[in-house]
Amino acid sequence: MDSGLLDRELIAGLRARGQRVTLPRLLVHRHVRGAQRHVTAEQVYAELADELPSLSPATVYSTLDLLDELGLVRRMNTPRGAIMYDSRVDDHHHVICRQCGRMQDVDVAIDTRAAERAARSAGFEVAHAQLTLNGLCPDCAT
Amino acid sequence: MDSGLLDRELIAGLRARGQRVTLPRLLVHRHVRGAQRHVTAEQVYAELADELPSLSPATVYSTLDLLDELGLVRRMNTPRGAIMYDSRVDDHHHVICRQCGRMQDVDVAIDTRAAERAARSAGFEVAHAQLTLNGLCPDCAT
DNA sequence: CTGGATGCAAACTCTTTGCATGCAT
DNA sequence: ATGCATGCAAAGAGTTTGCATCCAG
C-alpha cells in the first residue's frame, strides 16, 4: 500500500469527525501502517525523530490513540506490559515471547463465537476477540 | 477452599524449590487465591496494609511473580496496560471493558490447537493460549 | 479569525532495583 | 550460622497532563 492510499484513508477518517489533517498525523500514520509490524509509541517517536525533529512524545501518544479510535490501527498490550500498536485491523492472533517480548502474527482462523456469545449473554458488548499465545520465541528457547 | 489447603499448596511449591515460607508470602497468596477475582499488585498491597503494615510494594511484586512461577496464580495484562493476577490457573478466557477496565471470566472452551500448531511450526514453544474479548461492560454500555 | 493540535516540560503511575537488616532453615 | 527474603527508599520506564503557541480550516 503506497502512502497516497494510506493518506487518503486517514484524511477521510479525520474529515468524517471534523478533525484536522496535520503533518504529525500523516507521518505517524504512514510510519505505523507502512511498517507492517508491531510498534510501541516510543519506537515511533524515535524513528520519526529525523523526519520531524519537532515531534513530541505527547503528540505520538495522542495520535496513536486517535488512529485506534478511527479504526486504522489497533492498540494492544504485550504480556510484559508495553502498549503496542498493530497496523493490521483484520482478525488475527499473536504469539508473544515471555522472555524478550517479541511478538508475531498467527494467521489462523479461530472460532471464538461461543466465547462471544457467552460474553454477550453476560451483558457485554463485544467489539473483537483476540487470542494471545504465550511462550518462548525460537531464540529464547535456546 | 480454606486457607489451610491454600497454605499447604504454597508451602509444597516453595519447598520443592528450596525457598522459604514467610508471612508476606502466606498472606499475599491467601489474599489472591482466596479472593476469586482479578487483582493488581497495588490492590493487594493496599488491601493487606491493615493485616501486615510492614509489608512493602516491592515484596508484593516479587511475591506475585513468584506465585506465577510456581503456577499458583497467573500473571496477565489488561488491554489498558495494568498487570493483573488471576487466581485461576485452569484454561479460561476473559472479557474486558475497554472503558472501565472491568474484567470477567468467560468459561467457554475454545479450540486453539490450530493457532498453537502454527506458532510451534514458526519455532515458538507455546505455554498457554488466552482469548481476550474487548468491549463494553453492561454498565459502560449505558 | 478561531479553536483544535502541537510542543515542551513536568507530573504521575506503576514497577523495579540496591542495599542493609532480619529471620527461616 | 547462613544466606534468602524483606523493607525502605530511590530510581526507572512509560505514559499522561497543563498550558502557551501555532496553524489548518
Give, in Å, how far the C1' of D17 lies from the CA of B36: 35
How many cross-chain Cβ pairs, A to B, lie less than 8 Å apart?
A: 145
Q: In this structure, is the CB of residue A21 within 7 Å of any atom belonging to strand D?
A: yes
**Confidence at residue B98, expressed as pLDDT on a 0 to 100 scale:** 78
In this complex, the residue with its CA at the shortest distance from the C1' of nucleotide C15 is B61
Q: How far is the CA of B46 from the C1' of D20 (A)?
A: 39
**Strand C bases contacted by the protein (CB, 7 Å):** 4-10, 14-18, 23-25
Could you give the CA distance from residue A73 to residue A79 in angstroms, rounded to a whole number?
A: 19
Confidence of residue B122 (pLDDT cuts 50, 70, 90): very high
- The whole-number pLDDT of residue B140 equals 82
> Which residues in chain A have Cβ-Cβ distances shorter than 8 Å to B129?
131-134
Note whether A100 contacts B: Cβ–Cβ < 8 A.
Answer: no
Q: Kindly report, residue by residue over B39-85, the tens digit of the pLDDT.
A: 999 999 999 999 999 999 999 999 999 999 999 999 887 766 778 99
A58 CA vs D21 C1’ separation (Å): 16
Cell 515460607: give the residue: B21
* Sequence-distant (≥ 6) Cβ neighbours of residue A63 within 8 angstroms: A24, A25, A28, A29
Model pLDDT, residue A79: 61
Greater confidence (B100 vs A105) lies with: A105
Q: Which of A79, A97, A116 sits opposite B77 (nearest CB)?
A: A79
CB of B89 within 8 Å of a chain A CB? The answer is no
Helices A57-70 and A3-16 cross at an angle (nearest 10°) of: 80
Percentage of residues in chain B with pLDDT exceeding 90?
70
Tell me the average pLDDT of chain B. 91
Tell which residue, B77, B103, B76, B71, has the closest CA to residue B89.
Answer: B71
> What pLDDT is recorded for position B11?
98
Q: Is the pLDDT of residue B1 over 60?
A: no
Rounded, the Å distance between the CA of A57 and C1' of C8 is 10
Share above pLDDT 70 across residues of chain A, in percent, rounded to a whole number: 95
Cell triple for residue B80? Answer: 489498558
pLDDT of residue B80: 65
Per-residue pLDDT of chain A (142 residues; tens, 9 = 90+): 567 899 999 999 999 999 999 999 999 999 999 988 899 999 999 999 999 999 999 999 999 999 999 999 998 876 666 789 999 988 899 998 877 778 889 999 999 999 999 999 999 999 889 899 988 889 888 7
**pLDDT > 70 fraction of chain B, expressed in percent and rounded:** 96
Q: Do B104 and A115 touch (CB under 8 A)?
A: no
B108: contact with A, CB 8 A cutoff: yes
Q: Give the gap in angstroms from C-alpha A130 to the nearest C-alpha of chain B.
A: 5
- Give me the sign of the Cα torsion angle B18, B26, B36, B141: negative
- pLDDT at position B2 is 65
pTM, entire model: 0.85
B107 — pLDDT class (breaks 50, 70, 90) = very high
pLDDT number for residue A60: 98
- What pLDDT is attached to residue A76? 85
Residues 27-46 of B with CB under 7 A from strand D: none
What is the distance between the alpha carbons of residues B94 and A125, in angstroms, rounded to a whole number? 13
**Does residue B3 surpass a pLDDT of 80?**
no
Q: Are strands A125-136 and B93-97 parallel, antiparallel or unpaired?
A: unpaired
- Average pLDDT (B103-120) is 95
User: Shortest CA–C1' contact from B54: which nucleotide?
Assistant: D7
**Interchain CB distance below 8 Å, A129 and B132:** yes
